[in-house]
């Protein structure tokens, strides 16, 4: 990913899906730490301020580092709350836009974690996206937001609401002299076993990638380690730090490889 984000202005990566619980916040955190370990400066935004998963993850990391007198990379983080008053939404959109633009001038990468439902913060953030990463599990229920498929015949009936949204964003970006949006659909929480269901989903995704213009990252497996590190604010990338005295298992090493591979996959070449 080095070439893309080493330019002066930050490369903006938006994690999104109009579907809850697919791994947006977990992947946001891991990517932020991965890029910082590579020497890039990173700012993060949590646009799901009410839930605040990414914000809490980063707060936990700060606390843990202070308690343990540890020096781990921590991104410059902004938590954004949804404005409920309809009269103030225009102003709130502008505020978000100027916060992103300001960080764009000062960091190599910006990672934006979004809520699982569309709102004005969700929409506004995509206007700055260079890369959109869409985590998706190996469950047919997740595929629904990408496309409506007749599973008897395999025919794609119509794009799902989220693909329609990304299409609109692509059109908008084209009017802003950004003809290319690097859209990546990333399998997450994938079962360890080869199943008919998983094979079917990935073959649908392969076809959809050509139809709707995304690149398919094979994915991150369902690993308990992704769930265990939240309270300390750690990621699988921190575990080989000598001070943590953590015994790396095969699964930890594999998880680290998955995240590293995703960070590398961001560069389209
Ligand atoms: N690869 C993985 N393996 C195992 N558990 C995972 C993995 N990725 C995420 N999880 C777990 O899945 C749950 C949902 O993840 P996360 O909060 O990152 O999703 P989200 O898309 O941000 O959710 P929301 O839409 O609610 O914001 C969490 O408990 C998280 O620890
Ligand atoms: Mg989240």
- Cα(24) to centroid(ligand 1), Å: 7
> Ligand 1, closest atom to CA 48?
27
- Cα(124) to centroid(ligand 2), Å: 17
CATH number of this structure's domain 2-265: 3.40.50.300
- Cα(179) to centroid(ligand 1), Å: 31
User: What is the pLDDT at residue 8?
Assistant: 52
Q: Whose CA is nearest to atom 23 of ligand 1?
A: 21
- Cα(227) to centroid(ligand 1), Å: 8
User: What is the pLDDT at residue 243?
Assistant: 87
User: What is the pLDDT at residue 6?
Assistant: 45
Give phi and psi for 261, each to the nearest 5.
-65, -40
- pTM, to two decimals: 0.95
Name the closest ligand to CA 46: 2
> Ligand 1, closest atom to CA 221?
1
Pocket of ligand 1 (CB under 6 A): 20-26, 48, 51, 53, 115-116, 188-189, 220, 222-223, 226-227
pLDDT in tens, the chain (269 residues): 444 444 459 999 999 999 999 999 999 999 999 999 999 999 999 999 999 999 999 999 999 999 999 999 999 999 999 999 999 999 999 999 999 999 999 999 999 999 999 999 999 999 999 999 999 999 888 999 999 999 889 899 999 999 999 999 999 999 999 989 999 999 999 998 878 888 889 999 999 999 999 999 999 999 999 999 999 999 999 998 888 888 889 999 999 999 999 999 998 76
User: What is the pLDDT at residue 27?
Assistant: 98
């Amino acid at each position: 990913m080095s070439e893309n984000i080493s330019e002066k202005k930050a490369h903006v990566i938006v994690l999104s899906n109009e579907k809850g619980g697919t791994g947006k916040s977990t992947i946001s955190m891991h990517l932020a730490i991965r890029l910082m370990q590579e020497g890039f400066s990173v700012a993060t935004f949590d646009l799901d301020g009410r839930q605040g998963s990414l914000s809490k993850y980063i707060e936990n990391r700060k606390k843990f580092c202070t308690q343990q007198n540890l020096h781990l990379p921590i991104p410059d983080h902004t938590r954004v709350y949804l404005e409920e008053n309809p009269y103030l939404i225009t102003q709130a959109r502008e505020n978000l836009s100027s916060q992103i633009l300001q960080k764009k001038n000062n960091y190599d990468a910006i990672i934006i974690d979004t809520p699982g439902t569309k709102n004005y913060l969700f929409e506004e953030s995509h206007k700055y996206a260079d890369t959109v990463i869409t985590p998706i599990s190996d469950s047919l229920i997740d595929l629904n937001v990408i496309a409506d498929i007749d599973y008897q015949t395999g025919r794609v009936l119509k794009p799902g609401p989220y693909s329609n949204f990304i299409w609109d964003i692509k059109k908008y970006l084209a009017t802003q002299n950004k003809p290319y949006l690097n859209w990546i659909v990333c399998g997450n929480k994938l079962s360890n076993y080869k199943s008919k269901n998983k094979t079917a989903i990935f073959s649908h995704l392969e076809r959809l990638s050509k139809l709707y213009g995304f690149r398919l990252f094979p994915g991150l497996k369902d690993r308990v380690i992704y769930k265990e590190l939240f309270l300390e604010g750690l990621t699988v990338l921190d575990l080989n730090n000598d001070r943590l005295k953590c015994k790396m298992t095969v699964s930890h090493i594999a998880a680290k490889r998955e995240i590293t591979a995703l960070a590398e996959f961001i560069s389209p070449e």
